[in-house]
Homo-oligomer: A and B are copies of this chain.
């Protein structure tokens, strides 16, 4: 993939987060990876979205070394890199402080799968990381955040649940590319909103039965999916 194309995709994913109302000021960032070259494109730190251009997107290698671009990368770069290194199938990462997903992260409560809107995109509850320890916070904090996410997925499939809540912080989402990562961030926020209202209406609300959860996820994903139009080349 050309770096120019990657940068444009990453710019577009960042702008999509803003258009969908998931980002206040500069509180969010999306990135994408060119797996062949081992290069990651990410939003620069603290640059207002309305001024952001594709040229300003920073290019880093997987060790965090900046290989192209004149601005500082997002301060969360090391978290993104940790995800790219451990989740080998993903091509994009999106991080927001969106209203309801962040509230669940602050409440340190996994989002139960209360309905098919959730099951259509996430094949299980949205997990919450452990809190970081004082040494992890004092050390390479952003990398440790990524490591905490990866530990949370030790027994989970990141392709089946492409989102996590970082305890006391906010969500990270991922996908096949930056656009899909942003798409998951949008759906996660909606699912988080629905789940908050669901508990407000009935504190005893029960998660979906496993069979229905599977049915909806597999209606949209995998070999037997039948939602949407047949994709042809």
By a beta-carbon cutoff of 8 Å, the part of chain A in contact with chain B is 24-27, 44-47, 71-72, 75, 97, 99-100, 102-109, 114-117, 120, 131-132, 134, 137-138, 141, 168-170, 183, 186-187, 190, 193-202, 205-206, 208-209, 211-212, 215, 219, 226-230
When distances are taken between beta carbons in the complex, the residues of chain B under 8 Å from A168 are: 114-116, 208-209, 212
Residue contacts A-B, CB under 8 angstroms, 19 given: A24-B187, A24-B190, A46-B227, A97-B194, A99-B194, A102-B115, A102-B194, A106-B115, A106-B195, A107-B201, A107-B202, A108-B202, A108-B206, A116-B168, A132-B212, A137-B209, A137-B211, A137-B212, A196-B201
| Complex-state Cα separation, A47 to B228, whole angstroms | 7
Q: Are B206 and A45 touching (Cβ within 8 A)?
A: no
| Complex-state Cα separation, A104 to B198, whole angstroms | 6
Copy tally for this chain in the complex stands at 4
* CB nearest to A141 among chain B residues: B215
With A99-B193, A168-B208, A200-B196 as known contacts, state yes or no: A230 contacts B72, CB within 8 Å. yes
